Structures are given as structure tokens and as C-alpha cells.
Amino acid sequence: MAEYNKPIPQPEPVNQPFWDGAKEGKLMLPRCTVCNRVHFYPRIMCPHCHSMSIEWFEASGEGYIHTYAVQHRAFGGWADEVPFVTAFIDLKEGDRMFTVLRGVDATKPEEIKIGTLVRVEFEPATDEVHIPFWRVVA
Amino acid sequence: MPSNPSMAAAIVGAAEANEIGYPETPRTMMQLHIEAIRNVCDQTGIKPSQIEAVFSTGTAPQIAEYLGIHPKYFDTTAVGGCSFEMHVHHALAAINAGIVDIALVTHGENGWSARATRGRGTGRGAGGGDPWTPDAQFTQPYGIGGAPSNYSHAMTRHMHQYGSTPADFAQIAITTRQWATLNPRAVMFSKETNPAGGPIGMDEYNSSRWISWPLHLLDCCLVTDHGGAVLVASAEIARSLKTKPVWIAGAGESTSHSSMLEMGDFTATSAKASGEAAYQMAGMGPSDMEMAMIYDSFTITAAITAEMLGLTPRGEGPSLWANGNAAPGGKFPVNTNGGGLSFNHSGMYGMQLLVESYRQLSGTAEDGVNGIAGKQTNAKSLIVNGTGGSLSNTGTLVLVAD
């Protein structure tokens, strides 16, 4: 495997379950046990009802394109990849994640449709950190 | 009950550093601050030793030290380009509370010089690089490189939701450039000041390169040097000076998110909340405004903000610029300095907005190098809004002429 040459997230204590799940190919999300709402990024307090009772569950790994852009200028390892598409993903379970979108043609942005179904996949950047990316479901 | 601070204080002077834009020799941030402060003190007759409060993004203590003064009130609010509108809000509150009578709001930022001498991405003094922030873990790993790569997502969503088109956004860039051709200090004043300067049209817009689709280069602000300073004073002092006061009728600030992960509606900002607060304090509304200074880090920023401030219906922000309405000689002038798009944008553009707002309402928009014939409007009231972060934080002021 070629060395991963792009920024690698550093897991922190609060969201370690997210990265533990990612290593196993699972999208783990935090959910409030009081109001049952999902949030992302992970927090120790529910941003909806302010309870401190948060549990982790395995999500469907599916979502929809909320909005997107095509990056024509980037830095570091990403500079070699331009143009590439970035997108905010509405998770089926609620709230959003950000990604470099796979399975799309960055030279034809008009053909990408908001609302398109996408599925998560994980790319091993290191043994410990597998980074989620979202791909348009063919 | 506390008193409404509306009109309790005025902006009594506003000035820039001696060299702004793309200076021939690199400028330090402190040079940019101090030149502007010297200039605004000369303009108003207020001595640096009379300044009781210092407001600046992070650096208020360093400014005070440099000036050799010991302010009794200071504020380092640094939440992006809107910080300076917030500083004026805070200065108004402090003056209304009787804590101080004279406050300095100051800006010095060498976006151009830092890039020219140290490389891209070094314009901001802060940064830190905490790897445990939400963005460090969940957005920055995906090739995001600065504001344009974020803001483009808002423009895509606006086009999807409301059917706005690149041609609509182009009108903002084209109109703003028209104003820049009346401001000799604007980077894009003319072909002489910059090869890419002077008037632009749809052809230039369409052929400008992609930065972050759907943002063309001409949808994006400049990266420049700028120093600016305004003095805010109590009503009594404001009436005693040689300069004309511009009264602070209303002020408001708000935030909707920090990380763009948390931007619930990509076509809305907290300018709705900060604008409503400012209007309410002023006892005025959008229809009372005679011009606007709107943060235009990108055309999409300006468009959304116009909607949030009630200057157009939702989804129709670009229409404010249509048909010459916002252009020189138009019914509702907007961004009369040439904007962040074509005048000057150092990274945090809020001070440039304040300086021009003061000039317009004090009738000095064509004095000296401030502008040439056609730049001064007849406006007696305006709304000025700053946006900071990732369409996150906003500060809004309603200002009225004496």
C-alpha cells in the first residue's frame, strides 16, 4: 500500500468509538438516549436537548448529497488530485458529514445531483485510522 | 431597565494605513495598525493618549503597548471579518454604560505581504493547529483549503434551492468592480494599478478560472494588506470634534455555527439575527436604509447577506445588484469602495467596510485619495454587515449621518 499522503485525522477520546468502528468498516454515530436524535460531529452533550447521555450505534452507512463543490485548488497531497468533488452528506439517521465524493466526474459538476444516494466506505490511512469517504451508489 | 444605547455614541473618524493593497515593500501588521491610528488621530484631533479603550482582533494589548497607553477597557474579539462591527457594538455598549468616552477600533493585516514573503496560508497570525477540533478531524482531511473551498458549497445549494445562476452572481462582481473604478486606492481601480483591473463584464467573469466550482476567480475576494482604524466617542465628545459624527443607531451580532458541518441551512446566515437586532435598536427597518456595505468575501456571501438583512426576498439576493440598482448612480448603492472583491480584502474585511461607511455618511467619500467624482452618494443612512468564519458569525450596524 502506498503511503497515505493527505491529512490524517488524530482520534481524540470523545470520538474514539467512531474510529474504532471505522477500522471495522462500520459507520458509528452518536445518539442521545433522552431525545433519540443523532448528531455529528460527536459530542459529550446532546446539541438538541443538552442531555449528557450519549450512546454509539452502527448506522446504515447511507446518506444523500446535500450540497457539493469542485475543488480546483488544494494543498499538500490533495494538490495532486484536483479537480475533485467535495460534498456535505445528509446521513439517513440525521445530521451531516463532509467528504471527498467518489464515483463522480469532477469535470462535469452539472451532472452531479443534490439528493443522490451515497454510501460510506473506509480508506486505511494508517493501521489505526481508516478515513470515511462517500461514494455515489451506482 | 437599561437604556437603549442607540445614538449614545458615534464613529467620529476613520482612516487607513498609508500603503494598502499590494504595497511595493512588505508591511508588518503593526505598521498597518499604527499608520491608520496616527491618521485617524490626526483627522479627529484626538490624541493617542486620550484613547481609553482598545478593540482589535486578538492584539489589543500589543496595540496599547505600542502606543504606550494603558486603556481601562479592551476587547480582543477575533471571530473573523465581522469582528470590527462587533467591536463597534461593544464600544457603543461601553460608552453607553459610562465606562469610557473614547474607544479605538483598529485593524492591521498583511495578507499580501505575508504571502509574498512567507508563502500561502501564512496571512493569519492565529491558527494553532489543534488536531482535536471537529474540523481537524472531519473536514480538513478532505482537501479543504481555505474559505473559497467551503463557501462554494453554499453557492451550489443556493442555485439548487432557488434557481440562481452564475449570471446572477456575476452581476455582483461586475457592479462592485464599477465602484472600484471610482476608488484610486482599489487594487482593481484600473489597468494601470493592476493588469486585471478596470471594468469587467460577463466575458471576463465567464473566462476567469475556477477556484472552487461554482466559484470563479471573479467570485472571490482579493488577498491584500490593509490597516484601518476608527474612533468611537460619546455623543458629547462627538459634537466637539472637527470631524462629522456618524451615529450608531443600531448594532447587533450573532453566530449560527463554527464548523460548516453545523451550518443547518446553507442559504442562510446569522445576519438575519444580527440585522434584526440592529434594526430593532435603531427603530428602523430595511426600507429606511439608503445604501448598504455588505461583506463580499465572495459573491455568494453578499447575495445571502442581502437576503438576511431584508434587502431582498429569500433566494433573490443577487437581484439587489441587477439592472444597475446597486451601481454608481443607482437607486441603492452597495459596496461603494469597490468591495472585498475589487478594492481590498486582507483576510478580515470588516474594517474596510467601517471606513467606507464613515466616509459615505460624513460626506468625505471623494476627499483626497478616497475616491473620484461619482463615488460619494447622497445616502443619510446605511446598514453595514460583517461576516466571519465559514458564513458563521455576523456583526451588523445601522449608521446614520449627523
The enclosing domain of A47 has a CATH number of 2.40.50.840
Looking at residue B127, its pLDDT comes to 42
Nearest CA in chain A to B212: A71
| Structural domain includes residue A3 | no
Mutate one of B137, B139, B158, B259 to test the A interface: name it (highest A CB count within 10 A): B137
Give A133's strand partners.
Answer: A121
CA-based nearest residue to B135, from B260, B238, B320? B260
Read off the C-alpha cell for B97. Answer: 454604560
Looking at residue B302, its pLDDT comes to 98
CB contact under 8 A, A96 and B138: no
Nearest CA in chain A to B137: A9
What pLDDT, in 10s, does the model give residues B118-169?
876 544 433 457 899 999 999 999 998 789 999 999 999 999 999 999 999 9
Give the range among A10-14, B76-80, B177-181, B317-321 with minimum mean pLDDT: A10-14
DSSP code at position A39: -
**What whole-number distance in Å separates Cα of residue A78 and Cα of residue A88?**
18
Beta-carbon neighbour count of residue B62 at 10 Å? Answer: 16
Looking at residue B177, its pLDDT comes to 98
Helix/strand/coil for B363:
coil
Section B181-202 average pLDDT: 97
Is CATH 3.40.47.10 correct for B9-114+226-401?
yes
What pLDDT, in 10s, does the model give residues B24-38?
999 999 999 999 999
What pLDDT, in 10s, does the model give residues B203-243?
999 999 999 999 999 999 999 999 999 999 999 999 999 99
Q: Which residues of B touch A86 (CB under 8 A)?
A: 142-144, 149, 153
Range of the domain at A19: 13-136
Pair A136, A118: CB distance under 8 Å = yes
What is the distance in angstroms between the Cα of B398 and the nearest Cα belonging to chain A? Answer: 33
Mutate one of A70, A126, A131 to test the B interface: name it (highest B CB count within 10 A): A70
Looking at residue B261, its pLDDT comes to 95
Read off the C-alpha cell for B274. Answer: 444580527
| Structural domain includes residue A73 | yes
Give A87's strand partners.
Answer: A68, A99
| Structural domain includes residue A7 | no
Q: What rounded mean pLDDT belongs to chain A?
A: 96
| Structural domain includes residue A5 | no
What is the distance in angstroms between the Cα of B272 and the nearest Cα belonging to chain A? Answer: 21
State the count of interchain CB pairs (< 8 A) between A and B.
Answer: 106
CB contact under 8 A, B260 and A7: no
- Please count the structural domains in chain A: 1
The predicted model scores a pTM of 0.96
Looking at residue B299, its pLDDT comes to 98
Looking at residue B115, its pLDDT comes to 87
Nearest CA in chain A to B152: A69
Q: Which residues of B touch A87 (CB under 8 A)?
A: 153
| Structural domain includes residue A84 | yes
What is the distance in angstroms between the Cα of A70 and the nearest Cα belonging to chain B? Answer: 5
Mutate one of A19, A27, A41 to test the B interface: name it (highest B CB count within 10 A): A41
Give me the residue label for grid cell 479537480: A83
Section B79-87 average pLDDT: 97
Give me the residue label for grid cell 459538476: A109
Looking at residue B124, its pLDDT comes to 40
CA-based nearest residue to A106, from B27, B152, B268, B206? B152
What pLDDT, in 10s, does the model give residues B368-381?
999 999 999 999 99
Instruction: Compare CB distances from A73 to B141, B211, B259 and report the shortest one's residue.
Output: B211
Section B335-361 average pLDDT: 98
Pair B229, B105: CB distance under 8 Å = yes
Looking at residue B134, its pLDDT comes to 92
Section A30-54 average pLDDT: 97
CB contact under 8 A, B261 and A66: no
Phi, psi of B358 (to 5 degrees): -60, -45
CB contact under 8 A, B145 and A75: yes
B3: confidence class by pLDDT, cuts 50, 70, 90: confident
Q: Which residues of A touch B211 (CB under 8 A)?
A: 72-73
Instruction: Compare CB distances from A86 to B144, B160, B259 and report the shortest one's residue.
Output: B144
Section B287-311 average pLDDT: 98
CB contact under 8 A, B143 and A67: no
Nearest CA in chain B to A6: B141
